Amino acid sequence: MGGANGKSGLRVWRNARLATMAEGAAGLGIVEKGAIAARDGLIIYAGLEAGMPAAAGQGAETIDCERRWITPGLIDCHTHLVYAGNRANEFEMRLAGATYEEVARAGGGIVSSVKSLRAASEDQLIAETLPRLDALMAEGVTTVEVKSGYGLDADNEKKSLRAARRLADERPVTIRTTCLAAHALPPEAKGDKDAFIDLVAGAILPEVAAEKLADAVDGFCEGIAFSPEQMARVFDKAKALGLPVKLHADQLSNLHGAALAARYGALSADHLEYTDEEGAGAMAKAGTVATILPGAYYFIRETKKPPVDLFRRHGVKMAVATDSNPGTSPLTSLLLTMNMAATLFGMTVDECLAGVTREAARALGLLGQTGTLEAGKSADLAIWDIERPAELVYRMGFNPLHARIWRGQ
Ligand code: DI6
Ligand code: FE
């Protein structure tokens, strides 16, 4: 679908079926005989082809979609995509009977990825990350959130965030970066979590903010990581620096991380396997999105499911993401992730598709720019060779993407 644009950067995709995912529309916001017009990378019309204003099509480069389905470009709103090496060895240990917590306490886990990342150059990190990014993009992903969290000192956190930002120079994709310095305790901290949190709040976050390397701040609130009190100190600093927050909450136990995130008006609280009704209620009130991460649940053979029903009852919006990382979710398929969310957690097709489009955009604070097919938003589209949208959730290991459009191209 290359080639020069029509006059004034105008493009029209016609003869398409649309799942607009527009807020308030019933279900997927389906338009059976649809068309989309874009100018200079922004959607200027999305709706019935018969209703498209003549001006929107004048002089446009027109693409006949031959009744294919168009969804918003997919959004992976929670990844740890930038890392070096892999942890297949720990996978083998776990297959021999060790638990994730045992592996972590034995000095493996996140800390082994910290060693590899610290040893890698920024260019090397980018080179190792691109194949993972390409795998996501091959399935129609147009926006990816990327966390740091394997650097755990100022220089290495900044190196990962810079590498993440530079991915957007290498590929046509929107990258949002998140500083996850409060991810794990580095070896040089010698077990002193409070002193490390002082370093995060006192030095790492201010440096990252000064260089504008992060769009948000995240943390891992868990017995094997940081307490709610420690996370609150990180969030206080993030707020003071004007950065939105999000949290790895209630993944392995209920430390009331969801409620903590809500108290800070977090964009999202993520994982949430152990979240209780109070947490769900607090998230609903605060408008904090629940990011559901079935890849980690599956990979570490967790048995406690996130309380999807509670989120529904309280009206908490749900996003779905890969959590792509070397330790607990070496997953680079958002299509497979949707299948897992449906099969493992009973999320509906509509919930899964909203979870990787509109709600993922909301979880990144980007709902004004992308995530639905509506005038005024970026022309980020995925065009699919399918007969019905449910096929995107139903299949496992099959990619029906016909074309991927980012900012109109
Ligand atoms: N929760 C997770 O599942 C990942 N990080 C986190 O806070 C694990 C990351 C890793 O093991 O490398
Ligand atoms: Fe994660």
Angle between helices 154-170 and 110-119 (to 10 degrees): 70
User: Rounded to whole angstroms, how far apart are CA atoms 48 and 205?
Assistant: 47
Rounded mean pLDDT of 343-364?
A: 98
Determine whether the shortest distance from the Cβ of 110 to ligand 1 is under 6 A: yes
Q: With cut-offs at 50, 70 and 90, classify the pLDDT of residue 10.
A: very high
Rounded mean pLDDT of 162-177?
A: 98
Determine whether the shortest distance from the Cβ of 37 to ligand 1 is under 6 A: no
Q: Supply the pLDDT for residue 7.
A: 45
Instruction: Give the H or E element holding residue 38.
Output: strand 30-39
Task: Tell me the CA–centroid distance for residue 3 and ligand 2, in Å.
Answer: 38
Residue nearest atom 10 in ligand 1 by C-alpha distance? 327
Determine whether the shortest distance from the Cβ of 245 to ligand 1 is under 6 A: no
Q: Is the dihedral of CA 190, 191, 197, 200 positive or negative?
A: positive
Task: Tell me the CA–centroid distance for residue 116 and ligand 2, in Å.
Answer: 18
Closest CA to 289 of 334, 255, 258: 258
Instruction: Calculate Rg over the CA atoms of the chain.
Output: 21
Strand 30-39 versus strand 42-48 pairing type? antiparallel
Nearest atom in ligand 1 to the alpha carbon of residue 83 is 12
Q: With cut-offs at 50, 70 and 90, classify the pLDDT of residue 101.
A: confident
Determine whether the shortest distance from the Cβ of 339 to ligand 1 is under 6 A: no
Q: With cut-offs at 50, 70 and 90, classify the pLDDT of residue 401.
A: very high
Mind listing the pLDDT tens digit for each residue in 246-273? 999 999 999 999 999 999 999 999 999 9
Task: Tell me the CA–centroid distance for residue 175 and ligand 1, in Å.
Answer: 20
**What mean pLDDT value characterizes the chain?**
96
